[in-house]
Structure 1
């Protein structure tokens, strides 16, 4: 079944049939509906996508590279909210979103082998070979939660400033025994020192922000680090911190998901939050306000980040098509401390 088969049946040119599928504005609604009805009757599903992409020089799809497994991303409310915001921004453009992982099973390297017009690089290890492949392909890219790079648009959050306000909040409440719970695949796990941590751009920014407030106050935080960022990992990290001879009276967490586990560990240890232990998260995920007690956290506008990243990528793609690439903008969104019931002064 070909375009010519339908053209002969309808009595129009092959180009007219092609326009019915790819350029509907070139035809009257009546003629287009007639062509599509005949195509449906004959079982024709449309031009071959690969051939059409080759002819147009465009695939109609953009990728988003995730370092973690795709199943892990869908279990994270922050990640799914972010992906939803990207999809909303892309919808009017007709571009589809292709999820890319760093998995190379079967010899397939998605960042190298998948056809796409551009890609978003979201919170990835800068040493990832997948990021290197995307850069080598010289396609339009946007970095999110990454170290800004010359020539690549970037969207980041004021992680350091947000973490600083969170730590200062605890210092102002009177806490001097403070713990930190974080995560990361690379580097040491368990009880670590700041020099042992290898947590990428966001992790290093948040650690710097916490220390910006804690160090001048004479606070040397105890740091527990787990390989994953889910509540179970937060639970295990909190158990390490709370088993110390002088356990912390407050814990700063890299994310709200880790904070959920910290609160659970405190309750299981017979502690009351915030009377015995203050807990602070980061992100202001949908779960933060639902927790008991509601979680003090640092809010980043996840929707704004997703919309900004997708808009920057579509602009970069259009500029590349026109051969007029402009300056790569580096956008930094604000972070705001949201004080709820999970923090209070330490017991006397």
Structure 2
């Protein structure tokens, strides 16, 4: 037993003597609050505050329980994405809210492995959500080797691992069909991703990153192929506004420019709208633009953005619930079912789309 353990036990006993309860009751006030009445717990905590005791040492408690009390969210190679992408921040917020009552804390993990500390290998966690990552990345491999409970989100489903996805293909198909029904025949696709050819691309050059990108491409092509339309395509190297604008200009600054654009995300669509404004192309009179996600930006920009809505809040809540259940099943020695959830999408028509002009 360490000196810290002895000191903690002595402090718990001091509080117990002052309140007139057992040391175990005091311990439960910190670790198992549901086993005490609200009034008794508050008396214990007030006494603890009075003597300056903040609670059991987290490291010692984790060692005793065989659990860390933390779960990881594995993102792309840059954690900046978690704080700058509106969809990612909404998703993480929903996870944090769902985890609140469980007592589990949230740890953001980069999938980068260039350093002495590799988060997926070295950070103490009880389980992880793998969010829109390359499934062949070393981060996913390390988590798998550690045999941690995992939940895949915006990933290709894998047998034995719970997954939460949205129906990207159906949503993208509806977006493309919307432009076709309006009468558009010259349609462009604005893609996003780190791998493959960047700039103007042909159907033969297309390399699509990740589950969502693949499914959205399939959905667009379902409708376009059926209508006999071969789209113009451009791909940006990253996700920031400047790159989106640059890719959009490749499609718009040409004599045979598209009259309609299908964009991988609302963020990419915003870049397209800015590029159109800089080129003097009026939206939706001369160009229709469709995004994907229905993030808060979609109703803030002008014209308001036609887009495909996904329920990011539900995706976050379901992901957290699935991970909490998987962790609980592991602790109880149960073999829980690995459910694969597919959330619906919905086309939301706003001011950025209209029939093509006669000219």
Query: How does the TM-score come out when normalised to structure 1?
Result: 0.94
The equivalent position to 1:84 in structure 2, one of 82, 93, 96, is 93
In structure 2, the CA distance between the partners of 1:50 and 1:258, relative to structure 1 (3 Å rule), is: same
Count residues with an aligned counterpart.
348
Partner of 1:199: 209
In structure 2, the CA distance between the partners of 1:6 and 1:118, relative to structure 1 (3 Å rule), is: closer
Shift of 1:121: 0.6
Shift of 1:67: 1.0
The equivalent position to 1:274 in structure 2, one of 264, 284, 304, is 284
Partner of 1:52: 61
Query: How does the TM-score come out when normalised to structure 2?
Result: 0.91
In structure 2, the CA distance between the partners of 1:88 and 1:6, relative to structure 1 (3 Å rule), is: closer
Partner of 2:232: 222
Residue 108 of structure 2 corresponds to residue 108 of structure 1: no
161-170 vs 36-45, greater mean Cα deviation: 36-45
Partner of 1:149: 158
1:322 and 1:98 map into 2 onto residues whose CA distance is 23
**1:172 alignment partner, SS class:** helix
Shift of 1:42: 4.5
In structure 2, the CA distance between the partners of 1:98 and 1:338, relative to structure 1 (3 Å rule), is: same
Shift of 1:32: 5.1
Aligned Cα root-mean-square deviation (Å) = 1.9
Partner of 1:332: 342
Shift of 1:173: 1.1
Is the 8 Å Cα contact of residues 112 and 139 (structure 2) preserved in structure 1?
no
Partner of 1:22: 31
**Cα-to-partner distance string for 1:143-190 (whole Å, 9 max, x where unaligned):** 000000010000011101110111111111111111111111122211
Is the 8 Å Cα contact of residues 182 and 229 (structure 1) preserved in structure 2?
no
In structure 2, the CA distance between the partners of 1:26 and 1:78, relative to structure 1 (3 Å rule), is: closer
**1:2 alignment partner, SS class:** helix
2:200 and 2:73 map into 1 onto residues whose CA distance is 33
1:149 and 1:95 map into 2 onto residues whose CA distance is 25
Residue 222 of structure 2 corresponds to residue 234 of structure 1: no
Q: Give the gaps of 5 or more residues in structure 1.
A: none
Q: Give the gaps of 5 or more residues in structure 2.
A: 1-6
56-65 vs 266-275, greater mean Cα deviation: 56-65
**2:109 alignment partner, SS class:** strand
Partner of 1:4: 10
Shift of 1:47: 1.8
276-285 vs 239-248, greater mean Cα deviation: 239-248
267-276 vs 225-234, greater mean Cα deviation: 225-234
Partner of 1:248: 258
**2:226 alignment partner, SS class:** coil
Residue 268 of structure 2 corresponds to residue 258 of structure 1: yes
